Amino acid sequence: MAFIVSGRIEVRKSTEFRGKQVVVGLYGKGSLVGELCILNNIKRAVTVVVTEDADLLILSHEDLEAIIRENPALGAKLLKGMLYAVSLRLRKSFDRLAAIF
């Protein structure tokens, strides 16, 4: 998972058409990417491309597990922030789908 300290990140998802991707998100300072992968420790579902010079803070699955174990209060805050980010993105996805129909 990466916390975006500065710059901009574009998130792309592969489509069913070989070699074709769709942009599913643009994120900047204060955002995070990769939260789904860090929670379930599985292969990434999207590709992240830096579109503007960026500084990132990287947190691995192992690092998150260590934080939760060694500092549960901080771990809970991190997990709560990640859940909040995921819930906002899910809500926006629902809105986009509803706009199509």
pLDDT digits (tens, 9 = 90+) for 70-86: 999 999 999 999 999 88
Q: Is 4 left (phi over 0), alpha (psi -120 to 50) or beta?
A: beta
User: What integer pLDDT is reported at residue 19 of this predicted model?
Assistant: 87
Record the pTM: 0.79
Q: Where are the domains of the chain?
A: 2-100
Q: Does pLDDT of 56 surpass 90?
A: yes
What is the rounded CA–CA span in Å between residue 14 and residue 75? Answer: 32
50 pLDDT band (50/70/90 cuts)? very high
Q: Class of the 2-100 domain?
A: mainly beta
- Least reliable range by pLDDT among 5-9, 38-42, 68-72: 38-42
In 3-state terms, the chain is what percent helix, strand and coil (to 5)?
Answer: 45, 35, 20
Q: Does pLDDT of 96 surpass 90?
A: no
What is the rounded CA–CA span in Å between residue 85 and residue 64? Answer: 16
| Helical H segments across 7-100, by residue range | 35-40, 61-70, 72-100
Q: Mean pLDDT across the stretch 8-26?
A: 91
